[in-house]
Structure 1
Amino acid sequence: MAIGNPASTDMPEERDADPDMKQIVHLDDVITTVVMARVTDYFGFFVFAIASALVFPTIFFPYLEPVAATLASFAVFSLAFLARPVASLIGRKLQRRIGKAGKITVALMVLGTSTVAIGLLPGYDQIGWVAPALLAALRIVQGLGLGGSWDGLTLQLKSAAPKDRDGLYSMVPQLGGPIGFCVAAAMFYVLTGFLTEEEFYQYGWRFAFFAVMAVNVVSLFARLRLLTTNFGSDEKTMMKSAPLGFLLQTEWRTILLSAFLPLSSYALLHMLTVFPISYTLLFTDNAIDRIILWQLVGGALAVGTVILSGVLADRYTKRAVLLGSSVLTLLLCLSIGTLKDNPAIYIVAGFIIFGLSYGQSSAIVPDRFSPDCRYSGSAFATNLSWIFGAAFAPLVGLFLASTFGLWAAALYLVSGVLVTLVTLLILQRQFDQA
């Protein structure tokens, strides 16, 4: 199946490619490219996330008590999310000057360079307080690169999807989450398993950050390839950047709904990936490589349930899938106590539920944006949802667990589920009134 018309001369606004250079590609090629781009994004994301729990407290905050050091590391982790909206605003101006391809190239180079620089940073023992300060600064730069690299891939794929398979196509970009995590976790599993503790903390962890630069190059070519793909006659409208004032004035309700809807899945993601590693290191005698191994098992199963979410969404509705996965997440909270003695129960079951939730978490609301605001509205809402649901999840979860116990961390996850359920209720009422 091919996408686009070889004779088409429609030229999307702010696009660099010459109309004559438009490619006719098969849909399976587009799917492969979208998955590649998202996997590389999440790989870099989780390399930093895992290192925040496993490495940075020891390397950059050794002067603090273990719990305080990990909380400080998680505070640095959150900085990138706070920088993303700023990067989006900068990216809008940059895109007008050098085009979308130029903007994405600059953003990914900024992201890759800052990530490699983190891998080269000396620790606190070498340069004192300058080390954590530089880590925080580079994390902000990472956020600028992440926010500036928004490309609308999900919107492009949705526009190419057959109407009766919208749920299946909507889950394709979401595969990047569990696959990207598995790749990052597998790297740390190998590094911690084959190196001594001294070797790992001295130089081993740095290899993961160097690898991010290599995969960013792959991501760049994958994204640029899609920029020369014609996705249909409505692409000019779909990929248009709306003026910020007009966007906020006309679409603020849809932006908030889009931002709040994925909170359950985003909070669950971090409570399954980063939080168990930090909790295990600080409060249990469990071997960390066993925790990562169970996470790899869970991540592999989550790939399957992400795909299943698309099948179920097409058979029933996206709203039904999210409602069911939210209820399952509430039940999962009852098992969080097993992290101490039998962590496989919470981790594996959690990843299975996460796949169902995450697979459709970003697919319901974007169609409710007006066509000329869909691209900018989705970008704005995505940045907000990562701030609300992901930026502080490891920090808040660990603080509550260390202060009150695991039950308090479970309540944090419950709060994210309740926000998602309320958003679903509002969407249902809007649908009934339409």
Structure 2
Amino acid sequence: MSAHAASTSFEDDARDLHDHGKKVSPGEIAIGVVIGRTSEFFDFFVYAIASVIVFPTLIFPYVDRLQGTIYSFAVFALAFIARPLGSVIFIAVDRLYGRSAKLTIALFLLGTATVAMGFLPGYAQVGNWSVVLLSILRIAQGIALAGAWDGLASLLSLNAPEGRRGWYAMLPQLGAPFGLLVASGLFAFFVATLPAADFIDWGWRYPFFVAFAINVVALFARLRLVVTPEFTTLFESRALQPAPVLDTIRAEGRTIVLGAFAPLASFALFHMVTVFPLSWIVLFTRETPGRFLTIEVIGAAIGLCATLVSGLLADRIGRRTLLGSTAVLIALFAIGAPMLLDGGATGEWVFMIVGFALFGLSFGQSSGSLATSLGKTHRYTGSALTTDLAWLFGAGFAPLAALLLSSKLGLAASGAYLFSGAVCTLIALGVNKELAKRANEG
């Protein structure tokens, strides 16, 4: 039974509520996509920030702060390891029961796992069970994030006006700076207004509670789009139809791997300007977390503006050209970034401003940069797998690797890690261009 035939009551209700016989504009699609991505990244950053300023004390108090943060980052990586498994599970759900059932289950799982973290008991209450519970909930987040991948960014891109593909491809990426801005702002408020004991006891939990409400809003925004005639048309043409995972890997394995490595510079920088510097400041300086979280709020605003600019540039010079150019700039930034981060207040500001500007320019065009190289039959599933692997390779272990390297070899080692990500992006883009050239010649 196909997902199209298996129309659920959610789809029927959404269609009755929203079907007015009008064509859905790209602007309406953009709003739904941005809301959905913002909810995902808000959940992501709430956990990421807590993994630095809460969990080392709450869950790992039996080791020193550095080791506790390393353990916390190891748990952080579990979600990225679980994402490919989540894609396998939810692609099967999609094929059997439809896109709306998949989204409903995934977003409620994501919201429930995130809210449950807000009720998590500490090591002082339940001992090592707190580590087990945190790990289970983190894995659930990863599985749910894979299921929340909906192909709506493709719907938006394919409905974009002529000559505006880069702009509309950029819009889903706005969810990252929006999510960081809200998450950092909430934590900065509670850190600044509460005594340290109260913050660790109960104050840190409130951002996790907010996540469920945001996920409910995101669910209905996405269901609004899944039932549109435009989505149905693309589904029936196979552009948004899920294909079996093994068939997709056999048919498009090379493109999936190249697509996973193409945005590596952007995804590595993603954590190098968000999660890792916060851990470095907390562990190796006397600076308060609240001050640096405020800097991150400002950095997120800069990243938001740079993401918007990336849409304009991509339509002028091309998405792949922009990705390659920013990878070169990220490589140059990686050389000087350690000195900036370790250069006092002024260095921190320069690090964050330049880092977030480059992050916005690169991340704005990083999603599905090689998706057009995928065949139509396997494009939806191939894009989902590419996204999972890109996050796993480029982001999942970035905070852990950067902190381990920096604590053992000095801060310059984190720059070398970022530099390697930029090199991988340039190699992937070059190999893909050469393969495309050979295919055209053949």
Give TM-score scaled by structure 1 length.
Answer: 0.94
- How is 1:308-387 mapped onto 2 (pairs within 5 angstroms)? 308-333=309-334, 334-340=336-342, 341=344, 342-387=347-392
Which of residues 402, 422, 425 in structure 2 aligns to 1:420?
425
- How is 1:33-432 mapped onto 2 (pairs within 5 angstroms)? 33-231=32-230, 233-236=233-236, 237-333=238-334, 334-340=336-342, 341=344, 342-432=347-437
The answer (yes or no) to whether the contact 1:254–1:368 under 8 Å persists in 2 is yes
* Aligned counterparts of 1:96 and 1:235: Cα–Cα separation in 2: 11
Larger mean CA deviation between 373-382 and 313-322 belongs to: 313-322
* Aligned counterparts of 2:5 and 2:316: Cα–Cα separation in 1: 36
* Aligned counterparts of 1:92 and 1:431: Cα–Cα separation in 2: 29
* Aligned counterparts of 1:142 and 1:307: Cα–Cα separation in 2: 28
The 1:377–1:14 alpha-carbon spacing in structure 2 relative to 1, beyond 3 Å, is farther
* Aligned counterparts of 1:373 and 1:123: Cα–Cα separation in 2: 44
* Aligned counterparts of 1:15 and 1:423: Cα–Cα separation in 2: 39
Equivalent pairs, count = 424
Counterpart code for 1:82: I
Offset of residue 151 of structure 1:
0.7
* Aligned counterparts of 1:172 and 1:20: Cα–Cα separation in 2: 25
Runs of 5+ consecutive residues of structure 2 not aligned to the other structure: none
The 1:96–1:327 alpha-carbon spacing in structure 2 relative to 1, beyond 3 Å, is closer
Offset of residue 12 of structure 1:
4.9
1:308-332 alpha-carbon deviations (Å, 9 max, x no partner): 1111111111122112211111121
The 1:264–1:130 alpha-carbon spacing in structure 2 relative to 1, beyond 3 Å, is same
Secondary structure of the corresponding residue to residue 205 of structure 1: helix
Counterpart code for 1:328: L
- Percent identity between the two aligned chains: 42
* Aligned counterparts of 2:35 and 2:199: Cα–Cα separation in 1: 29
Offset of residue 20 of structure 1:
7.5
* Aligned counterparts of 2:126 and 2:244: Cα–Cα separation in 1: 45
Offset of residue 164 of structure 1:
1.0
Counterpart code for 1:217: V
Give TM-score scaled by structure 2 length.
Answer: 0.93
The answer (yes or no) to whether the contact 2:169–2:311 under 8 Å persists in 1 is yes
The 1:189–1:20 alpha-carbon spacing in structure 2 relative to 1, beyond 3 Å, is closer
* Aligned counterparts of 1:58 and 1:177: Cα–Cα separation in 2: 27
The answer (yes or no) to whether the contact 1:326–1:417 under 8 Å persists in 2 is yes
Counterpart code for 2:270: L
Larger mean CA deviation between 195-204 and 325-334 belongs to: 325-334
1:245-296 alpha-carbon deviations (Å, 9 max, x no partner): 3211110111011111111111101011110111011111122222112211
1:108-167 alpha-carbon deviations (Å, 9 max, x no partner): 111111111111011011111111111111111111211122211111111101231111
Runs of 5+ consecutive residues of structure 1 not aligned to the other structure: 1-10
The answer (yes or no) to whether the contact 2:4–2:98 under 8 Å persists in 1 is no
* Aligned counterparts of 2:111 and 2:396: Cα–Cα separation in 1: 20
The answer (yes or no) to whether the contact 1:397–1:412 under 8 Å persists in 2 is yes
* Aligned counterparts of 1:311 and 1:149: Cα–Cα separation in 2: 28
Counterpart code for 1:142: Q
